[in-house]
Chain A
Amino acid sequence: MDKNKNFDNWLDIHGISRREFLKYCTATAALLGLSELGFATRIADALEAASKKPPVIWLEGQDCAGCSISFTGSLNPPAASIILDKISLRYHEAIMAGSGHLCESTCHDTIQGGGYILVVEGSIPLADDRFCMVGGRPFKTIVEEAAQRAAAIIAVGACAAFGGIPAGGPTRGIGLNKALPGKTVINLSTCPVHTDHLVGTLLYMLVAGKAPALDKIGRPKAYFGQVIHDNCRRRSYFDEGLFLEDWNDPKQKDWCLLDKGCKGPDTYSDCPIRKWNDGINSCIDCGAGCQGCAEPDFYIGMAPLFTAMGERSQNILARKKAGLIPKMETT
């Protein structure tokens, strides 16, 4: 994360120093003869309420708005409280009130001020800038400008992180890993971004004042540290070689989805534990299998998605045969 004065300023208020701040409030309260912690907390909260919220600029490029929809899907905490209470959302095309030059100037002013969190959704066309224009300007230029003074950059979704589906198309979409070489980018790379991954990352940054620990390709280890296959509830059927063939058969409904093209053994994400939509369901749970959307070579590297006849799936099977994917130990 870049060192930035403004960012440090708001981190001073929102971040780790909150503890110090509370200590200070407690001391103040004690001096005043009001030693209850509750009172001190109230002082802290009141002072915090008057403080500045971290500015956020959310840019959309070659996107489908699915990550925006995923973001607004947060129930606990509610999306409204994140948008109105926790952050100062300066620019988000799908949410903000203004249009055209009104919001373009807000975006410009926020960039001038620096110290904001930059969230990028969607890829950047490599084939020709004109494949993605916003406000009359190439999206590529907009991202490059916004990245200059950002305190932190989050790529939401597969497209912004690594190019996603557009990477395999005629516009040759690229992610921030290629568009912003040398910049630290937090990659939340599922398609779409997982609500919890984004909300959790934002909250972590507000509380800790820094980016969470990242893996080699910029993904938070807390969310992308384990391979899906190792936590899959269908794992024992994989080990036994029982693969679902017919979705109509209740007996097979929990069997392994490898034959239907599941890419779980090649994909890192906590989907099987966290699941999606407040734990209601997930790709593997619903019988469709994992399509590898958290990985840098998604979609082209994962296709064909729904059959084991593709190279990727054949490779997984070969590894299984060679004993390179050992059975889960049952203790």
Chain B
Amino acid sequence: MRKRIVIDPVTRIEGHLKIEVEVENGKVKDAWSSGTMARGFEKLLRGKDPRDAPFVTSRFCGVCFSVHQLTSARALDKAFGARVPWGGTLLRNLAMGAEYIYDHVLHFYHLSALDYIDIMAIANYTGKDKGLLSVKDKIVGLVKARDTYPLTPRYKPDEFCVRDPDVVISAVKHYIDALSMNAKARNMGAIFGGRTPHYQSIVVGGFTQYPDINMVAKFRSMLDEQAKFVNEVYIPDVLAFGTGPLFPLAKMGLGGGHHNYLSYGALEKDPEGTDLVFPPGIIIEFGPNNGKVHPVDQAKITESVKHAWYKEEKPQHPYNGAQEFDLDRTGAYSFVKAPRYDGLPIEVGPLARMLVAKDQTLLGLVKQGAKPGAVARHAARAIETKLVVDACSKWCDDLLEAMTKPGFKIHDTDHWEPPAVGMGAGFYEAPRGALGHWVRIKDQLIDNYQAVVPSTWNASPRDEKGVRGPYEEALIGVPVPDTDNPINVVRVIRSFDPCLACAIHLIDPKTNEIRKFIVE
């Protein structure tokens, strides 16, 4: 018997996402990913002063705001001919680093962990730890008051959910602690960024916050606290879960997909930008015998709208991409365009970055039998958080050194006025993956603006050839033994850390009237 399941909205993600799967013999046979909200930011930007773009595109996403601001500024840097001084780059990187640290921790604890633990197991905790007992009191108090929102309702815990009271209670304590760590990491970013969410200080040509030594000292002190949490809590939790109770899921490669991975590269370690925390590269069909990393050629990127609600027809390079909506177009089921590299669907994000970087910790886990998939995505995210923490520490040193030299600069003020004509592309790595912004300038105003964001790659619908997007492909074969409880489906989707507001797309409500499971 085939059964069609609609999950709408998929929660604990950024944005509005609907996932539809067809289940046969306890496994997902086919899948469709649709975003359900559009704002048309790119079209809004036409005719505006280009310097507004980093501010406006920050609002693509209130979770990963800084990377949009930064990538937009990088596209403008090219179009304006601006050369960002090393001081400006360091400040941009520190602001960006703070976002990575908070965002990855948030994703593991607040967006994902509830899929892997049976929170009610806390009631069985018999230990004496005072901190943990207060967590027990809190949760048991909620149960007694019959008000356990927002922890319930939930999908029923399955055989992969951790029930060991000691493990669950410390995970929930870390969930609560991580909320404060998140807030502190964002405050850390605001030291240079101005405020969070939505930094103010990343502009074309560099940065606006002139740093002083106290700011650097404050940043470093707050970074130390973050480093302690990342090294002593976050990474051990991810490894304990990934190599313990979730290892069977890792071994079966739950949520694998096409195994094509792309990283644009990001976070400069030197003024020349030759040494990066995340190196660029692309891997096609990663496997036991293939980890070959190819150079990235952005000219090979196209966007198909065959199954998306736009008026254009043939796949276009983003410089030429239009944004005229067509809500009534037949054959379309999403307004995410389908970006392809050399015609292929590509996964982007921490897993892609760590495979492209040939990270030894991750490859070690793969050698032990953890196939690239949902669990590996969590592992890769934790591994790279440490890389960013370490890089931030080094940038603090570099910034202090630069600040104390004569001629210290944070901005290319000679290139602040928009050029009459120009075009530029900015490429960077968002916490969720490869991010590109493209801008064309005419008469000192924006003529065309396009962004291909990580979730456009990952959440894309089928393309001209009918090939599924990464979310859709990753769901194929995923076990759903109980169609009333599709917990593995949301585990796989959340492992990508979806960020739909920036993916910008629509669906047809006529085919989307259902919120309940439908048996075909």
Contact = CB atoms under 8 A, between A and B. Distances in A.
Given A191-B59, A277-B195, A282-B195, A49 B141 contact: yes
Interface in B477-517: 490, 501-502, 506-509, 512-517
B456 to A, nearest CB: 15
A71 to B, nearest CB: 10
Contacts of A106: 149, 153
Contacts of A200: none
Contacts of B11: 93-94, 96-99, 103
B52 A305 contact: yes
A245 B38 CA distance: 37
Interface string B27-67: 00000000011111101100011011001100111110100
Contact of A171 (B39, B145, B512, B516): B39
B454 interface: no
A314 B408 CA distance: 33
B393 interface: no
Interface stretch (B206-214, B270-278, B459-467): B206-214
A248 B153 CA distance: 54
Interface in A246-290: 246-248, 250, 253, 260, 276-278, 280-283, 285-289
B195, B201, B327, B502 pick with most chain A CB within 10 angstroms: B195
Interface in B90-116: 110-111, 114
Contacts of A139: 37
Contacts of B24: none
A279 to B, nearest CB: 9
Contacts of A75: 180, 183-184, 187
B190 interface: yes
Contacts of A291: 55, 200
A134 B470 CA distance: 22
Contacts of A65: 14-15, 61-63, 501
Contact of B44 (A85, A135, A170): A170
Q: Is the interface of B mostly helix, strand, loop or mixed?
A: loop
B25 interface: no
B397 interface: no
Interface stretch (B2-10, B158-166, B284-292, B368-376): B2-10
A324 B210 CA distance: 32
A131 B38 contact: yes
B201 A286 contact: yes
A165 interface: yes
B158 to A, nearest CB: 14
A117 to B, nearest CB: 13
Interface residues of A, number: 96
B40, B151, B206 pick with most chain A CB within 10 angstroms: B40
A132 B37 contact: yes
B180 A78 contact: yes
A69 B63 contact: yes
A238 interface: no
Contacts of B410: 247-248
B179 interface: yes
A173 B147 CA distance: 35
Interface in A147-179: 164-166, 168-171, 173
Nearest to A192: B197
Contacts of A283: 194-195, 200
A88 B147 contact: yes
Contacts of A129: 509
Interface stretch (A18-26, A55-63, A210-218, A222-230): A55-63
A196 B178 CA distance: 20
A50, A192, A277, A287 pick with most chain B CB within 10 angstroms: A277
B62 A133 contact: no
B39 A166 contact: yes
A70 interface: yes
A74 interface: yes
Nearest to B55: A305
Contacts of B153: 97-98, 102-103, 105-106
A312 interface: no
A89 B512 contact: no
A171 B186 contact: no
B360 interface: no
A165 B62 contact: no
B203 interface: yes
A6 interface: no
A132 B62 contact: no
A304 B51 contact: yes
A55 B121 CA distance: 25
A69 B150 contact: no
Contacts of B210: 247-248, 250, 253, 287
Contacts of B501: 63-65
B143 to A, nearest CB: 12
A72 interface: yes
A192 B58 CA distance: 11
B411 interface: yes
A67 B65 CA distance: 12
A50, A64, A103, A288 pick with most chain B CB within 10 angstroms: A64
B209 A287 contact: yes
A294 interface: no
A95 interface: yes
B62 A277 contact: no
Given A49-B141, A73-B183, A98-B154, A135 B52 contact: no
A60 to B, nearest CB: 7
A85 to B, nearest CB: 8
Contacts of B152: 97-98
Contacts of A132: 16, 36-38
A136 B515 contact: yes
A66 interface: yes
B51 A306 contact: yes
Nearest to A92: B150
Contacts of B10: 99-100
B44, B141, B201 pick with most chain A CB within 10 angstroms: B44
A12 interface: no
Contacts of B194: 276, 281-283, 285-288
A73 B186 contact: yes
Contact of B60 (A49, A55, A64): A64
Given A133-B36, A170-B44, A304-B51, A276 B195 contact: yes
A132 B335 CA distance: 11
Nearest to B209: A286
A31 interface: no
A245 B413 contact: yes
Given A106-B153, A131-B37, A303-B48, A100 B207 contact: no
A64 B16 contact: no
Given A64-B501, A130-B506, A277-B187, A169 B41 contact: yes
Contacts of B197: 66, 69-70, 73, 192
A89 B182 contact: no
Given A75-B180, A130-B507, A166-B39, 11 more contacts: A67-B62, A72-B183, A97-B152, A100-B7, A100-B8, A125-B38, A131-B506, A132-B37, A137-B509, A170-B44, A286-B194
13 contacts: A73-B187, A93-B11, A97-B151, A99-B12, A101-B517, A128-B327, A130-B508, A136-B513, A171-B40, A192-B62, A247-B413, A276-B194, A304-B51
Interface of A: 49-50, 52-53, 55, 60-70, 72-75, 78-80, 83-85, 88-106, 123, 125, 128-139, 164-166, 168-171, 173, 191-192, 245-248, 250, 253, 260, 276-278, 280-283, 285-289, 291, 299, 303-307, 310
Query: Which A-B residue pairs are the 8 nearest by beta carbons?
Result: A66-B62, A286-B194, A276-B195, A304-B49, A287-B208, A169-B44, A288-B200, A277-B190
